[in-house]
Amino acid sequence: MDPSSFELSRQEFGHFARLITERLGIRMPDIKLTMLQGRLTRRIRELRLSSFQEYLEYLLRSPNSEQEYVNFVDVVTTNKTDFFREPEHFEYLVGRALPALDPDPSFRRPWRAKVWCAGCSSGEEAWTLAMVLGEYAGARPGFDFAMLATDISTRVLARAREAIYPRALIEPVPPALRKNYLLSSRDRSCNLVRIVPRLRGRVAFRRLNFMDRTYGIEESYAVIFFRNVMIYFDKPTQEAVLRKLCQHLQPGGYLFVSHSESLVGLDVPLRQQATSIFRKAAQSK
């Protein structure tokens, strides 16, 4: 039978919703049923299975379950990002956060900042950060940076690493930064651009699940961008994930969340500096 003729039952939705919440931390209220049905139907069709129940069994118990879980994550996660989304954050980063973090205000000593783009999706935010940091390096002698960009979806990570985007998506990028950091194809009919190699060498992409007990990260970061991720978590999950992120944020480091997210009521070692911008206490551990 054509899987498009099946409807995801409330009971089946409940099984998938619990799995998604347990493994990914993402809330799946009942209003998401139609969305999940559409996304899973495409995957069922690709596997030539005959029902949602059969797919659930395949996902949990087949010899291919580990690999299928990766595909399942790619199917059910939502990935939305843009270049220079919420631009006030990037202005604050270079105008206030980085100068406040700089160990030598006289600019005489070299300084290397580590930045983590947590939940990078298809890379637009990570490459925006890289451009902004590249410009800051041009104004601050001796400044260097390295960036980690993580996401749970292997599909979007592949796009982010490739660093190729339709020209229409780069409209928010200021002309001067386009000139410095984007390459156009020699074929004028090709409406694609690519991030320049000198930036691509500064960003390491890696798969990471915020629900993991530990993240396997040794470094401490001066800045963490964690935007438009918490909206998918309930309050206890938000607090637990933020506490783990703070373990990798250096004392005095900055955490940026989106304008639609709040830390109100969460017990985390952060103090608000501006709208959706927080700083870890200098002596916090």
Q: Which residues are the active-site residues?
A: 39, 151
Alpha helix positions (H), 140-273: 154-162, 175-181, 197-200, 235-247
Rg, C-alpha atoms of the chain: 21
CA distance 156 to 138: 30
Residues contacting 145, CB < 8 A, separation 6+? 112, 113, 114, 115, 133, 136, 137, 202
Neighbour count for residue 213 (Cβ, 10 Å): 6
| Coil, helix or strand at residue 166 | strand
CB-based contact 134:199 (threshold 8 Å)? yes
Nearest to 25 by CA among 238, 203, 228, 192: 238
Q: Which residues of 87-118 are buried (b: 16+ CB within 10 A; e: fewer)?
A: eebbebbeeebbeebbeeeeeeeebebbbbbb
| Coil, helix or strand at residue 208 | coil
φ/ψ (deg, to 5) at 254: -110, 140
DSSP state for residue 144 in the 8-state scheme: E
